[in-house]
Chain A
Amino acid sequence: MRKIKCALIGPGNIGTDLLYKLKRSTVLDPVWMVGIDPASEGLERARNMGLKTTSDGVDGLLPNVQADGIQIAFDATSAYVHAENSRRLNALGVMMIDLTPAAIGPYCVPPVNLREHVGKREMNVNMVTCGGQATIPMVAAVSRVQPVSYGEIVATVSSRSVGPGTRKNIDEFTRTTAGAIERVGGAARGKAIIVINPAEPPLIMRDTIHCITESAPRAAEIEQSVRDMIGQVQAYVPGYRLVNGPVIDMDTHRVSIFMEVAGLGDYLPRYAGNLDIMTAAAARTAEMFAQEILNGSLTLEPVPA
């Protein structure tokens, strides 16, 4: 069966974990890994897995795009360079899945709005943040039952799973996540909090979702909706688990949901569910577009620069 050829930009933790997932895909074929450091372990690992690699950044990839038939690229670098990477690859007709917080394209949280992206011919979609992927399905699970006037999430991640890029620009996390709680989660107002915990052994990612509903919460419907949504996330992140809740407070209209996200342990350890849910969501998103390309309903075309 034909597969859609892909390039990965950024051979760090995220890029490498994503590579493991793409290797298992029935519709995606990872062909290139792009880095900027010739001595990078990630590039070497990709070479050993049979990928072509370049340490010249996107410059090194561009001349090979046509010959190798690359149609989808994943950017796991940083928000600072993403826009330029995206522009140059889009110009060659390559669709971009953005794993940075740059968010120049529309947000995509697969179980909530992946279907909405079908047929829109978007050339860049953004995967929000790890905390967003872990929590926005739950905000949406409540807001599809009844209007949510306020959605707040607290993502607690192990210190070992937070890379230097996130640390340097932690405000990007809170802003991007808060925006997506509103636009994808359906809350009228969103707030995001991230806490980094250095405990050893490392704690598995925890996510708490607080929603304030406009009218009295409809407990039974919310519980059913939350259960259904968890099942949908578990289809690509099996370690997505309800620990407690939904706690429903009739006086304050508060609905609180306490989740845990364990990763698959592909390249990153299981506690780093925050990174696993990002790469799993990106892979799932790309697979949907790949299926569209394969069945002829989507034709990628160069975007004039």
Chain B
Amino acid sequence: MNLKGKKVTLHDNTLRDGMHPKRHQITLDQMLAVARGLDEAGMPLIEVTHGDGLGGASVNYGFPLHSDEEYLSAVIPAMKKTKVSALLLPGIGTVDHLRMAHELGVHTIRVATHCTEADVSEQHIGLARKLDMDTVGFLMMAHMIEPDALVAQARLMEGYGANCVYVTDSAGYMLPDDVTARVTAVRQALKPETEIGFHGHHNMAMGVANSLAAIEAGASRIDGSTNGLGAGAGNTPLEVFVAVANRMGIETGVDLYRIMDVAEDIVLPMMEHMVRIDRDALTLGYAGVYSSFLLFAKRAGAKYGLPARDILVELGRRGMVGGQEDMIEDTAITMARESSPARTLTQAKA
């Protein structure tokens, strides 16, 4: 693979996707330390919000330690060069959140929908475009549909005003060929000036390899997080990606040793548990399940006496999409009831 001389914009998600393994409890000091470290390292763009985007504070997804406003107000003024992005999932956040983010100086808004439902993003992408923000459409769980179907959804987002559209592997399910097929199709279909991005999860250890496949197929924005702090087994670890990029001659503008130090000295000590490919995270990737379901399934498993892996497989079988965290406890209760000895006894009698 020859990617020498390719210029790629890295987008660090540690302070957004990394909110999932931190149960949205990152402190303002931790946020500032990570953000300043990445600013020093030359990271062009970092995302800061609740893990489920603006307005994600809820029983369903978890209440954060601080509001989106508090996090953004702390980080944005502290940045010398790095720009800040915010995620927004229509159905959870609204244009009111978008306006708030814009007023606080957010540079990039990423409007995320399930890969088949891009038409719920018109309102939000339209407003972000009108506000002259860097406007990104983010097609989640992109492994669930074929490339041509994904193209139709990407075109909708471009039509609403997105200047960049992401192929998002929310489940960490894709293998490099899956990425190549989707990014190639979307790249060919959209206007040349529209950028293509790729967001990976490391559940099958494919984060770096998939990102390279995406670049080869025409992606120019690559997501990841430092020390891989993200949902599931985490995102593409960006310090690793930068090292690979350096060896291959891909230009990221990020200082390798500095981002290594942020990963080791700042992010690692923040971790409450090792974000790694344990059997449950691997199951996410293997069965194609939304990565932020991981800790919810572990908790529901502990509460109702079931293996988290079984719950995750069942959620995948039922075609659950991002945002359906409520269905994890529901599914666990149903599974526990159906597998209980009392029930088995009754059935045996009948």
Interface residues of A (CB under 8 A from B): 150, 152, 154, 156, 159, 164, 167-171, 173-175, 191, 193-200, 203, 206, 208, 210, 212, 243-245, 247, 254, 256, 258
B116 at the interface (CB under 8 A from A): yes
The listed residue (B95, B321, B329) touching A195 by CB distance below 8 A is: B321
Using C-beta atoms within 8 Å of the partner chain, give the interface range for chain B: 20 to 34
Interface residues of B (CB under 8 A from A): 58-60, 90-92, 94-96, 114, 116-117, 119-120, 122-123, 318-324, 326-327, 329-330, 333-334
Interchain CB contact under 8 A, A193 and B91: yes
Please list 13 pairs of residues, one from A and one from B, whose beta carbons are closer than 8 Å in the complex, sorted by A's number.
Answer: A150-B59, A152-B58, A154-B324, A156-B326, A170-B123, A173-B91, A174-B92, A193-B58, A194-B91, A198-B114, A198-B321, A199-B321, A244-B329
Q: A156-B327, A175-B94, A244-B334 are in contact. Are A197 and B123 (CB under 8 A)?
A: no
The listed residue (B94, B117, B324, B326) touching A174 by CB distance below 8 A is: B94
**CA of A200 to CA of B145, assembled, Å:** 13
In the complex, which residues of chain A have a beta carbon less than 8 angstroms from the beta carbon of B96?
Answer: 171
In the complex, which residues of chain B have a beta carbon less than 8 angstroms from the beta carbon of A245?
Answer: 333
**CA of A165 to CA of B259, assembled, Å:** 46
The listed residue (A150, A152, A167) touching B120 by CB distance below 8 A is: A167
In the complex, which residues of chain A have a beta carbon less than 8 angstroms from the beta carbon of B321?
Answer: 195-199
Interchain CB contact under 8 A, A196 and B120: yes
In the complex, which residues of chain B have a beta carbon less than 8 angstroms from the beta carbon of A206?
Answer: 326-327, 330
Q: Which 4 A-B pairs have the closest CB atoms?
A: A199-B319, A208-B326, A210-B59, A171-B94
Interchain CB contact under 8 A, B122 and A193: no
**CA of A173 to CA of B59, assembled, Å:** 19
B334's closest neighbor in chain A, by CB?
A244
Interface centre among B92, B320, B326, B330 (most CB of A within 10 A): B326
Interchain CB contact under 8 A, B90 and A171: yes
A169's closest neighbor in chain B, by CB?
B123
B330's closest neighbor in chain A, by CB?
A258
Known: A193-B92, A197-B114, A244-B329. 10 other contacts (CB 8 A): A164-B119, A167-B119, A167-B120, A173-B91, A196-B120, A208-B330, A244-B333, A258-B326, A258-B329, A258-B333
In the complex, which residues of chain A have a beta carbon less than 8 angstroms from the beta carbon of B95?
Answer: 171
Q: A196-B117, A210-B59, A210-B60 are in contact. Are A171 and B123 (CB under 8 A)?
A: yes
Interchain CB contact under 8 A, A195 and B91: yes
In the complex, which residues of chain B have a beta carbon less than 8 angstroms from the beta carbon of A197?
Answer: 114, 319-321, 324
In the complex, which residues of chain B have a beta carbon less than 8 angstroms from the beta carbon of A171?
Answer: 90, 94-96, 123
